Amino acid sequence: MRLLIVEDEAACLHLLDTLLCGWGYETLLAHSGEEAWQILRTPGAPSLVLLDWMMPGMDGIELCRKVRELQAELRPYIILLTAK
């Protein structure tokens, strides 16, 4: 299964990537909401997103709102993560 990890903190992004790849997932990485939005609008985008809630620029909540506007068959499942 392919999934997208969206995290602005490099250490957290690396940790999540290492764990999930070790469990057999194919990961795509994004360092911002804007970068994730570009990935999610491409054909064959991942069907699962691990998304940081708070990021500079487009935060997780804003990205969720944009994803909800996509056609129903293109919408991924989203899990919001936060350190708070």
User: Beta-carbon neighbour count of residue 40 at 10 Å?
Assistant: 22
Q: List pLDDT tens digits, range 59-78.
A: 999 999 999 888 767 789 99
Per-residue pLDDT, 25: 96
Confidence of residue 7 (pLDDT cuts 50, 70, 90): very high
Confidence of residue 12 (pLDDT cuts 50, 70, 90): very high
How far is CA 28 from each of CA 6, 25, 84, rounded to the nearest angstrom? 9, 10, 24
Taking the model in full, what pTM does it have?
0.91
Per-residue pLDDT, 75: 84
Q: List pLDDT tens digits, range 18-53.
A: 999 999 999 999 999 999 999 999 988 999 999 999
Per-residue pLDDT, 83: 82
